[in-house]
């Protein structure tokens, strides 16, 4: 069953009166529970694609269908609850709330849903990525890698149906990166979550079901992950 589909997705920007195309006619289908990796060189449009597929940005042309609903033209008021309930985001900017501790940052999305187990769920996630001792620290007291791990835990706290991850291990060493990957794969096994990830790490990509190649804003094909 498809959980995500894009149809002829195009994103253009106008710079100095000139239209620049970042994505051009990208059609992609993702099955529920699948782990899909998008690879490509810097500037190929990978991050733009994730933003469009997750509803954070809107395409110039084309459609995005998420969990059976065409969200292409949804208002922010309709998108906000969808994101909090069904989507997890792990992007290169951590977007942690400066005035909240690591634990409070992770628990926050679950508290918005009224989850009475928000704090215990957040603490469990932090423990699993080696962050329990840092739970009461504020973002300015955390290293880049610690911020990344906190942001990943926050993305998983509501057990999302689909997780969008843009270089989720980019600020981590090999041990921290493996812990994060294990957590994402465990969510997939236990909850049937779908993972859509941009990564430069071939070690991570080898764990995927499919690897899609994106260059110059167009899908150039797929490569087998286990080759």
* CATH number for position 154: 3.40.50.300
pLDDT(61) > 70: yes
Q: What is the tally of structural domains in the chain? A: 1
Give the model's pLDDT for residue 227.
Answer: 59
Measured CA angle at 87 (ends 67, 136), to 5 deg: 165
Pair 226, 35: CB distance under 8 Å: no
Residue 174 is part of which domain span? Answer: 34-58+71-223
75 within a domain of the structure (yes/no): yes
17 within a domain of the structure (yes/no): no
19 within a domain of the structure (yes/no): no
Q: What is the pLDDT of residues 3-41, one digit of tens each?
A: 999 999 999 988 888 888 999 999 999 999 999 999 988
28 within a domain of the structure (yes/no): no
SS3 content of the chain, % helix, strand, coil (to 5): 35, 30, 35
* Percent over 70 (pLDDT), the chain: 99
pTM of the model: 0.87
Give the model's pLDDT for residue 94.
Answer: 80
- What does the pLDDT average to over 191-214? 89
Q: What is the pLDDT of residues 70-91, one digit of tens each?
A: 999 999 999 988 888 889 988 7
């Amino acid at each position: 069953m498809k959980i995500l589909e894009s149809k002829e997705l195009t994103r253009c920007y106008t710079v100095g009166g000139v239209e620049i195309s970042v994505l051009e006619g990208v059609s992609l289908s993702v099955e529920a529970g699948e782990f899909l990796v998008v690879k490509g060189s810097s500037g190929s449009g990978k991050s733009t694609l994730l933003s469009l597929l997750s509803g954070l940005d809107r395409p110039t042309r084309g459609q995005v269908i998420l969990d059976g609903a065409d969200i292409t033209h949804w208002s922010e008021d309709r998108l906000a609850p969808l994101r909090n309930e069904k989507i997890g985001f792990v992007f290169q900017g951590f977007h942690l709330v400066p005035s909240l501790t690591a634990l409070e940052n992770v628990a926050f999305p679950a508290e918005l849903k009224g989850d009475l187990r928000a704090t215990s769920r957040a603490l469990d996630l932090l423990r699993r990525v080696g962050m329990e001792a840092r739970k009461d620290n504020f973002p300015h007291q955390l290293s880049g890698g610690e911020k990344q791990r906190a942001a990943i835990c926050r993305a998983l706290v509501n057990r999302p149906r689909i997780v969008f991850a843009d270089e989720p291990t980019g600020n981590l060493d090999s041990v921290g990166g493996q812990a994060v990957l294990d957590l994402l794969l465990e969510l997939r096994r236990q909850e049937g979550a779908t993972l859509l990830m941009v990564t430069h790490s071939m070690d991570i990509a080898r764990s995927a079901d499919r690897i899609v190649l994106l260059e110059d804003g167009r899908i150039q094909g797929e490569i087998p992950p286990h080759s």
